[in-house]
Structure 1
Amino acid sequence: MYSFFQLIKRHKKKSVVFALLLIVYYFCLPSDLFKDPTATVITSQKNELLGAQIASDGQWRFPHNDSLPDKFKICIVQFEDAYFYEHPGFNPISIFKALKDNVSSGEVKRGGSTITQQVIRLSRKGQARTYLEKAKEIILATRLEFRDSKEDILAYYSSNAPFGGNVVGLDAASWRYFNRDAHQLSWAESATLAVLPNAPSLIYPGKNQKRLLQKRNRLLKKLLENEIIDSLTYNLSIAESLPEKPYALPEIAPHLLQKVATTNRGERTQTTIDSKLQERANYIVKNQYNVFKQNEIYNASVLVLDVHTRKVLAYVGNTPTDRAHQKDVDIIDKPRSTGSILKPFLYAAMLDAGDLLPNTLVTDIPSQFGSYNPENFNKEYDGVVPASRALSRSLNVPAVRMLQSFGLDRFHQYLKQLQLKDLKYNANHYGLSLILGGAESNLWDLCKSYASLSSTLNHFSETSSAYYSNEFVEPTFFASETINFGEKSTEKTLFDAASIYLTYESMKKVNRPQGDESWEFFDDSKQIAWKTGTSFGFRDAWAIGTTKDYVVGVWVGNADGEGRPGLVGVQTAAPILFDVFDILPNSDWFAKPYDEMREVTICSKSGHRASTNCDITEQNYVQNSGLKTEPCPYHILTHVDATETYQVNSSCENLSNIKHKSWFVLPPLKAHYYKTKNPFYKPLPKLRLDCMGENQVTMDFIYPKKNNALFLPKDFDGKTNELILKITHSKPESSVYWYVDKTYVGTTKDIHELAILPKKGKHTITVVDDFGNEVKRLISISE
């Protein structure tokens, strides 16, 4: 040690120079050898190529890949640098031979470069091939050998070597020339790619086939002679043909690729996509598109989520249509009118709040709310209908009336907690049309919401009745991400488990599309909670379904918003939904969350908690909050004769002959529509004429509706049509007296309809019966 320091002191200048040279040598190699732009590449959950977006410089250059297939490594070493694993970055013998040949010929005939030197030359692109440059390459090559392993150097070479045309790197070349991953190449294919970088401008698949074949076969012969492959493999390999022309890269998830490119441009990204499911979903959408386009419907999208991991399993952003119909637009995250797809959230919210039991009768009669006049899709009314059936049949009027009863602001707050990002305005901006498509959302957010509800149910049953604080988390399509559902809690996140379960039980009963109606008669049929939606003007068709394990969402329509007849959720989106569910594994149905439910006595006819007057009851499990709902208001105790034809009392009948009967009674307007769908409905019997006392008499308008603005059309002869007034009366045999603006206009009996011809302007219609009961209706006539 002493002599070493003495040597330094004796030769200070030389030591300083030597130290400086060491420092220069240490820092002479850039930390990043290659800074060229690379393609954006996405792969499946099993690392299968789904698609790639060309690099910004127009080259098919995949991101650097450290994983090299053994066959290619052997081929490239045997062809380019047989002593690669022995030399320090350069091969003196090869350099000497190359120098000798070049001097004797008077031109550069061979370079004698090692693979390490070629890596340096590739990184220093554009440099002239001079002896000075060769010296620099040797110095840098030795530095690279000190810094990186031989495997790393091979990876540098394979990722950046030119393979002809605009193809750079082994990964891109493998897909462009053989349409498969490099790890799946045969010996012949690996040998072909190993010889291509040696002269990429002269040897190109589809051209110069003879020279390429000779080079490939010479390499294969060398592999045979070195006993790397056997004679059988050699003979089979030389019999393989060469690629004729480049293949197009896979386009299995093009819209997901463009989404990933917005945040991970130029990177290789492993996604959560199941490639087989993705390809089958693509096929389903393509087949349906070929049908839809006959009706000028050109776009559709499908999203499949794993409920347990919240990972995206399939992402079909659009149909394989053309540019004129915006095939490149990713519909999945675009805002569209929701139609009826939000109705299950309202049903769940009312259950959760204790405003409703699953089968409580809700009103379904012609209704008007200011200038808003909602109608059912079939233009018919049921009078009253169980809430669960109103949901499964997607009836509009009951939904609007339920929203009015529940509270617009209240429901709007629930939707905000679902984190629907396209719900940008306050509740009053949307009004009651919010529940029928007055708002916008997108397929991503809606599927996310249904997945969160399903996951809430799963976690509740898996954790002995606990909830998670971060249940409504964003799904992911990055394989590297793991969803954090937060901390366990006894407090619900948004809806309690029972309300979600009961909502799904109702959604399970939605009528399936044509051809799949008898699903419930087959033991192995899939139980799916699902809902469709159709926006105003037939512009958007939705179908979203969930099982315990998966959520599938479908949107169908035109990207430019053009409506088309027949663009209805159950006719267009639902068939795709069930086709996709058919290729997914079967799922068990959700476990009933007993800890959030109570068994109560329910009135079978009204769906309310049974009152003392309910004659037919059943025991049902309902949500805990349902215990505060009102008892059945529709059953009354009445006294009838032995034949149940008339009401009687002690003034006209012996007590021994009077029957005490529970009777299901609806208000007149509800009863008017209810009995058209329920022929066995019996109105309350009339009081027998010889009995003293009065029955409660009720009547109501059927038409016109409240605050109705009416237009009276004219016939071809110019005559204005009359306005037909209609009421319903609990005693239709009574006489009813009609007045328009206090002017008597007529009397009706039995059938209470009257034709009038009012003048333009506002009028008050007044109806009075024999018992002095009176109802009024304000109308406005326009021309």
Structure 2
Amino acid sequence: MYVKRNKVKTILFIVVLIGYYFCLPKKLFINSTSTVVTSSNDELLGAVIANDGQWRFPELDSVPDKFKHCILQFEDAYFYKHFGFNPISIAKALKENYKAKKVVRGGSTITQQVIRLSRKNQKRSYFEKLIELVLATRLEFRSSKEEILRLYASHAPYGGNVVGLEMAAWRYFGLHPYQLSWAESATLAVLPNAPSLIYPGKNQERLRIKRNTLLKKLFTEGIIDQETYELAIEETLPQKPYRLPTVASHFVQEVAKTKKGQRVKTSIDIHLQKQVNVLAKQHYGQMKQNEVYNLAVLVLDVESRKVLTYIGNSPTDTKHQKDVNNIISPRSTGSTLKPFLYAQMLQEGALLPTQLVVDVPTEIAGYSPKNYDLTFDGAVPANEALTRSLNIPAVRMLQSYGLEKFRGDIEAYRIKHINKSSNYYGLSLILGGAEASLWDLCKTFAGYAGIVNHYEELRHEYYKNEFIEPSFLYDDKVDFGAIHRDYETIDAGTAYLTLNTLTEVNRPLTDQAWKYYDSSQKIAWKTGTSFGNKDAWAIGTTSKYVVGVWVGNSDGEGRSDLTGVGSAAPLMFNVFDVLPKSDWFLEPFENLYEEEVCTKSGYLALPICPSEKRMISKNGRRAGSCPYHKEISVDISEKFRVNSNCESISNIKTKEWFVLPPLMAHYYQQKNADYRPLPNFRKDCLMSENNTMEFLFPTKYKSTVSLTKNTEGKLNSIVLKITHQNSEAKVYWYLDDTFVGMTEDYHEQEIQPNPGTYVIKAVDNYGNEKQRILEIKN
């Protein structure tokens, strides 16, 4: 009945009620906030200033008890009793201000102050006070007292561009809010009332009086005891601002790219981060003596694929690009891709671990790779070629395996900067012709380690996505994808064999005897040095951790002494030393096969080969049989080869012999004293089988040589070289059909022609002929 009789009043009341309900914005504060990054145990790693230039941390989850007591006693002792405003305080404030003819006392509650802060401190007036009062009551309806306190602590001004309790605690005391003492909490409680008091060297006595008055009140109210009070008033005031922690500055900047304005709890182990920071600083001190100013270190947990340590650069200066994040910057890969080619060839059955690969002077379509030491082994076991990081075998292996195929294989590793076609890279892909980041290379090593670890955990099955991006978020759980019986990229046996091979890489001089110490752990690792000594890499893994190190100059300037083993590896091993020790991988027996392998050649053994049992990959059984062991016929003395044309069957003995092609044999026997060339045929026997010869110089069919001068200014000679399988052969040398000389034993012929193009011809006394075209320039 009342509603019907008072429709206008009712409607007006409803309108006012609706207006009151919606008068308060859903979100009081829409200010931009700083990006705050913490470690796995909530220690502050660093922060990035808000867009508006204020140091304003994201809102607190809770207010520390000490600060809560302080702010309530100083600002609003009846906070838990009023409903947004305190009529008694307002009345007292009006009375005292009227008497003083100016504002000497405020009557605002903490709730009202929250409203005033959210309204950007509008010009004070009685009308504005009325608005604040209405909004304060509405806030009390919507939020709990604890939420209101949290809003106040998060947005109160603390002088300069410092906003909120958390940032103030760091700026003025270098502590978390919950670590503050009673005196420090009291100091920060009185500051929002007069933030200008905090400036060092100014108003110190006024600030001290305010703080001590509050401490006295805490004591009087029985919140702190007398001893605590007496100790608190003796504490000094902050004299200078503290810098925020910079434990992982480049990491913080990287997090801010995707988590701007948020509080981010990460997987960084702060204690490990600090240890590695010290190691990196010490290493930087050594490297800068050689004018190498930058480095990067990344540590990953293999099981969780979480980032444990992240050092994007050395503690250098702006002149030397201190702000460059070298963990994500693409750099020439050097030799770091070689293990992946080795693995892919094992995987296909195109290679066995100890199989001999060719290491001789090589030119492929105009490309002539060189080993780092500029020597040749002739033939070298594949695993040794990998551990010694030989370039020529790697290039020849890539050519044999297929450049296009390998380029397709590494797509699965998701190395983002290797994004061009195989034709763009060419065979130099395996020697640093491509670029990758430390992040992606560490991710790939973690993938190999994960394949082996998960093989047993999954009862001989595989995750689909082992080469997943690592995560830096504490609560993030990496998804390895579905489980399959078949492998996606590399099987466990191949991954294990590859990692096991990499444990044999020669360690730096300071760590050469690691095998003889019980405390040492096996580490699968690989170095890389880019062309021009611009980048030095060392990346290693155990079953638990991956450690990656890059050393160089961020501007790309090279240094002659900058190498992976000398510049990056020592720091990598120092980092492993501060990590918990890891057991080696469990051998995936079910994915490996034991086969008879030739001890000399590393191929699957023939019946005539001396052999031993070795574990090989699943597809290794498809590999070729030994091509280098032959059965030969010798006389009874075993000094000469014979045949049925010159010796009776009863006087012929059969012997097994290890025989390499002439060019391979020439270099192989220089480093393998036990290599025995084939015996010569006896003179009365046919020798057609024994007349193979190869050029050592020039090796290419068409070559160009520039003449050089000696110290006397005369042109040096050119020395032609050939290797012959028959030690008794004679070689006759011709220059454009002009005879220039005959050689025996060591076939090296000196010539001194004028500039021009010549046909070089070598003919042995059995009628065999080899020739080359040689262009000679001044």
Q: TM-score, normalised by structure 2?
A: 0.97
- How many angstroms does 1:722 deviate by? 1.7
Q: What secondary structure, in the 3-state scheme, does the structure 2 residue paired with 1:193 have?
A: helix
- Counterpart Cα distance in 2 of 1:229 and 1:194: 16
- Counterpart Cα distance in 2 of 1:609 and 1:695: 25
Q: 1:468 aligns with which of 439, 443, 463?
A: 463
Q: What secondary structure, in the 3-state scheme, does the structure 1 residue paired with 2:612 have?
A: strand
- Counterpart Cα distance in 2 of 1:405 and 1:243: 70
Q: 1:363 aligns with which of 353, 358, 364?
A: 358
- How many angstroms does 1:15 deviate by? 0.8
Q: Deviations over 1:706-745 (max 9, x none)?
A: 1332111133554322210001111132111112233332
1:30 alignment counterpart: 25
2:724 alignment counterpart: 729
Q: Deviations over 1:137-161 (max 9, x none)?
A: 1111110011111111111100110
Q: Does 1:268 align with 2:287?
A: no
- Confirm or deny: 8 A CA contact 2:346 2:494 kept in the other structure: yes
1:105-504 paired onto structure 2 within 5 Å: 105-504=100-499
- Counterpart Cα distance in 2 of 1:778 and 1:454: 51
- Confirm or deny: 8 A CA contact 1:352 1:623 kept in the other structure: yes
2:520 alignment counterpart: 525
- Confirm or deny: 8 A CA contact 2:71 2:189 kept in the other structure: yes
- Counterpart Cα distance in 2 of 1:319 and 1:332: 11
- How many angstroms does 1:536 deviate by? 0.5
1:679 alignment counterpart: 673
- How many angstroms does 1:526 deviate by? 1.6
> After the TM superposition, which of the residue ranges 187-196 and 600-609 deviates more from structure 2?
187-196
Q: Does 1:507 align with 2:491?
A: no
- How many angstroms does 1:651 deviate by? 6.5
- Counterpart Cα distance in 1 of 2:64 and 2:348: 61
- Confirm or deny: 8 A CA contact 1:331 1:559 kept in the other structure: yes
2:261 partner letter? G
- Counterpart Cα distance in 1 of 2:651 and 2:229: 107
- How many angstroms does 1:645 deviate by? 2.9
- Confirm or deny: 8 A CA contact 1:205 1:242 kept in the other structure: no
Q: What secondary structure, in the 3-state scheme, does the structure 2 residue paired with 1:321 have?
A: coil
> After the TM superposition, which of the residue ranges 306-315 and 690-699 deviates more from structure 2?
690-699
- Confirm or deny: 8 A CA contact 1:177 1:205 kept in the other structure: no
Q: Deviations over 1:260-290 (max 9, x none)?
A: 2222222211221111111222221111111
> After the TM superposition, which of the residue ranges 187-196 and 111-120 deviates more from structure 2?
187-196
- Confirm or deny: 8 A CA contact 1:354 1:625 kept in the other structure: yes
2:671 partner letter? K
1:646-665 paired onto structure 2 within 5 Å: 646-649=640-643, 658-665=652-659
2:703 alignment counterpart: 708
- How many angstroms does 1:229 deviate by? 2.2
1:628 partner letter? R
1:766-777 paired onto structure 2 within 5 Å: 766-777=761-772
Pair 693,29 (structure 1): closer, same or farther in 2 beyond 3 Å: closer
- How many angstroms does 1:640 deviate by? 3.4
Q: What secondary structure, in the 3-state scheme, does the structure 2 residue paired with 1:607 have?
A: coil
Q: Deviations over 1:453-497 (max 9, x none)?
A: 111111112111111112221112122322111100012111111
Q: Does 1:97 align with 2:92?
A: yes
Q: Does 1:61 align with 2:56?
A: yes
Pair 778,406 (structure 1): closer, same or farther in 2 beyond 3 Å: farther
1:49 alignment counterpart: 44
- Confirm or deny: 8 A CA contact 1:613 1:635 kept in the other structure: yes
Q: Deviations over 1:332-369 (max 9, x none)?
A: 11111111111001100100111000110001111111
1:389 partner letter? E
Pair 194,126 (structure 1): closer, same or farther in 2 beyond 3 Å: closer
- How many angstroms does 1:230 deviate by? 2.4
- Counterpart Cα distance in 2 of 1:452 and 1:166: 45
1:670 alignment counterpart: 664
- Confirm or deny: 8 A CA contact 2:197 2:204 kept in the other structure: no
- Counterpart Cα distance in 2 of 1:310 and 1:391: 26
- Confirm or deny: 8 A CA contact 2:111 2:148 kept in the other structure: yes
Question: Percent of aligned positions with the same letter in both sequences?
Answer: 56
Q: TM-score, normalised by structure 1?
A: 0.96
2:632 alignment counterpart: 638
- Counterpart Cα distance in 2 of 1:334 and 1:375: 27
- Confirm or deny: 8 A CA contact 1:423 1:441 kept in the other structure: yes
- Counterpart Cα distance in 2 of 1:102 and 1:306: 64
- Confirm or deny: 8 A CA contact 1:652 1:691 kept in the other structure: yes
- How many angstroms does 1:81 deviate by? 0.9
> After the TM superposition, which of the residue ranges 195-204 and 100-109 deviates more from structure 2?
195-204
2:279 partner letter? I
- Confirm or deny: 8 A CA contact 2:690 2:726 kept in the other structure: no
Pair 231,364 (structure 1): closer, same or farther in 2 beyond 3 Å: same
- Counterpart Cα distance in 2 of 1:657 and 1:720: 56
Instruction: Provide the alpha-carbon RMSD of the alignment.
Output: 1.7
1:393 partner letter? R
Q: Deviations over 1:88-123 (max 9, x none)?
A: 011111111111111222211111111111101111
1:514 partner letter? L
- Counterpart Cα distance in 1 of 2:46 and 2:306: 19
Unpaired runs of at least 5, structure 1: 1-5
- Confirm or deny: 8 A CA contact 2:448 2:495 kept in the other structure: yes
- Counterpart Cα distance in 2 of 1:239 and 1:637: 97
Q: Does 1:619 align with 2:608?
A: no
- Counterpart Cα distance in 2 of 1:552 and 1:642: 60
Q: Does 1:564 align with 2:587?
A: no
- Counterpart Cα distance in 2 of 1:606 and 1:225: 91
Q: What secondary structure, in the 3-state scheme, does the structure 1 residue paired with 2:509 have?
A: coil
- Counterpart Cα distance in 2 of 1:126 and 1:113: 13
Q: What secondary structure, in the 3-state scheme, does the structure 1 residue paired with 2:427 have?
A: helix
1:3 alignment counterpart: none
Q: What secondary structure, in the 3-state scheme, does the structure 2 residue paired with 1:515 have?
A: helix
- Confirm or deny: 8 A CA contact 1:687 1:694 kept in the other structure: no
- How many angstroms does 1:180 deviate by? 1.4
- Counterpart Cα distance in 2 of 1:277 and 1:184: 22
Q: 2:755 aligns with which of 743, 760, 763?
A: 760
- Counterpart Cα distance in 2 of 1:779 and 1:432: 26
- Confirm or deny: 8 A CA contact 2:355 2:603 kept in the other structure: yes
> After the TM superposition, which of the residue ranges 209-218 and 549-558 deviates more from structure 2?
209-218
1:135 partner letter? L
2:659 partner letter? V
- Counterpart Cα distance in 2 of 1:411 and 1:782: 39
2:762 partner letter? V
- Confirm or deny: 8 A CA contact 2:462 2:483 kept in the other structure: yes
- How many angstroms does 1:239 deviate by? 2.6
Q: Deviations over 1:637-677 (max 9, x none)?
A: 22335554333456766767654322111111111111111
Q: What secondary structure, in the 3-state scheme, does the structure 2 residue paired with 1:781 have?
A: strand
Q: Does 1:599 align with 2:594?
A: yes
- Counterpart Cα distance in 2 of 1:423 and 1:556: 20
- Counterpart Cα distance in 1 of 2:354 and 2:202: 74
- Confirm or deny: 8 A CA contact 1:203 1:211 kept in the other structure: no
1:554 partner letter? V
1:697 alignment counterpart: 691
- Counterpart Cα distance in 2 of 1:493 and 1:163: 57
